[in-house]
Amino acid sequence: MTGLAGLCALLAWPRVDEALHPGGPGHETDSPALRHDVDPQGITRVRTSRPWVALTFDDGPDPRWTPGVLDVLHAYGCGATFFAVGSNVEAHPDLARRIVAEGHRLSNHTHDHLWLDRVDQATVTEQLTRGRAAVAAYDREGGELVRPPRGWTSRTVARCTSRLGLRSVFWTDCLESALSDGPLTAGTEVGMRLRAGEVLLAHDGGRVVGANPQEIDRSGTLAALPALLESVRRRGLVGVPVQDLVAAGTPH
Ligand SMILES: [Zn+2]
């Protein structure tokens, strides 16, 4: 996860605001512990007696990858939460509709995939509000859960999130962090180390336009997904939307 986030950061390195980040050019919340320090209300995992793991997919909807991800989820009978970029939801309403029609949840990944720890408070509020509105057209309450892009948050973001009645969701493991081992190994290994109550991050979206443009080939994620869900199933675990997991336990 850290490796991937670091690589992504290098590929699209934003201008550093030294006043906001006196410690230098690094983002301050690159680990679960740091994210928890900054935003104690944020969800990283859930204490639960159910054999559930939350599956979450970021950055879509994307016509190249989202349909394939939905097909695999259907084949394994799993539910998931799609933390969608608002501008991508507006560009692909058919996919947003399909996600919800197949029993998954659509949630808030901001409107334009801005690094929220690097923009002012008004922009944070605008991104969270517009992201929620884009999602609400398909999943009325789905946008109340937010994933700050790349998990980069701050005390300002935590405050804005709380004022708007939203809650951030982070993750315990990331499928793409293991892809250098090849998709089959990655899927199996990540599936083997997931524990009940944990939150998996993966990506169904490759393309994002705007201030932080990206164009990423997600074929590795798609190829790894069956092995991951097979491994999860063999261990008696079930993939569910993060909303279901939160409702079935105590988030922390
Ligand atoms: Zn993202």
Tell me, what's the pLDDT at 27?
74
In CATH terms, the fold of domain 27-251 is TIM Barrel (3.20.20)
> Which candidate in 27, 39, 58, 104 is catalytic?
58
Tell me, what's the pLDDT at 7?
44
> Which candidate in 104, 109, 113, 203 is catalytic?
203
The Å distance, Cα 207 to ligand 1 centre, comes to 10
Tell me, what's the pLDDT at 63?
98
Task: Report whether 199 contacts 54 (CB < 8 A).
Answer: yes
This prediction has a pTM of 0.90
| Residue 58 annotated as catalytic | yes
> Which residues are registered as beta bridge partners of 215?
207
Task: Name the residues around ion ligand 1, CB cutoff 5 A.
Answer: 58-59, 149
The Å distance, Cα 47 to ligand 1 centre, comes to 25
Domain residue spans of the chain: 27-251
The Å distance, Cα 211 to ligand 1 centre, comes to 13
Q: What is the mean pLDDT of each run of 10 residues along the chain (252 residues)?
A: 43 37 60 92 97 98 98 98 98 98 98 97 98 97 97 96 98 96 97 98 96 96 98 97 97 92
The Å distance, Cα 202 to ligand 1 centre, comes to 10
Tell me, what's the pLDDT at 1?
40
